[in-house]
Copies of this chain bind each other. A is one copy, B any other.
Amino acid sequence: MRRPRADSLRNREKLLMAAAAVFRETGGAGTLEAVARRAGVGIGTLYRHFPTREALFEAVYRREIEQLAELSRELSETDDPVAALRRFLHGMVGMVATKKGMIAALAIAIDGTSEIACFSFATLSAAMERLHAPAVASGSMRADVSADDILQTVVGMCLARREEQWEPAVIRLIDVFVDGLKTD
């Protein structure tokens, strides 16, 4: 098993850079041809590296997803598990509001059916679980709502936004929701 050719790695990297730029500018709607052009490679090369649009997307935003996982790891060491969960959700919203690509990454994680979208979802799901399980175990959070339920709710709140300054509203909604999750 040879190691990958140098030009292959180079092109892969160029494609990721170009895709990040194009997706940022177009809100994820850019054409793959534009990405290939920008990367200075043929369209065929793009498709060889990333067989579907989603595969490219995910490769671009995998890092974003992993940042969320990282945040959950940090917060999981807190004393107050409900507060940690709340802070995680706030952080999630903040990242979605700030980083152009995150919303697209989440949409894929939730909607996508590709193997790769499943990975994203699993990562987020695990991140959520890490904070959810202690909260339930401590008895301060109701047990009939799963970590995935919460994840999908929060992503849904972010996806279904039309106005410009939506961040404060969603933060408030999350607080309401978490209030509802607390056992009396």
Tell me how many chains of this kind the complex includes.
2
Is A29 in contact with chain B by the CB < 8 A criterion? Answer: no
Contact B169 A160 (CB under 8 A): no
- Min distance, Cβ A180 to any Cβ of chain B, angstroms: 3
Query: A157 is contacted by which of B142, B156, B161, B175 (Cβ under 8 Å)?
Result: B156
Is A152 in contact with chain B by the CB < 8 A criterion? Answer: yes
Query: A162 is contacted by which of B121, B142, B146, B180 (Cβ under 8 Å)?
Result: B121
Query: A156 is contacted by which of B142, B158, B172, B179 (Cβ under 8 Å)?
Result: B158
Binding site for B on A (CB under 8 A): 110-111, 121, 142, 144-146, 149, 152-153, 155-162, 169, 172-173, 175-181
User: What are 15 inter-chain pairs, A to B, with CB distance below 8 A?
Assistant: A145-B173, A149-B173, A152-B162, A153-B156, A153-B173, A155-B160, A156-B156, A156-B158, A156-B159, A156-B160, A159-B160, A176-B177, A176-B181, A178-B180, A179-B180
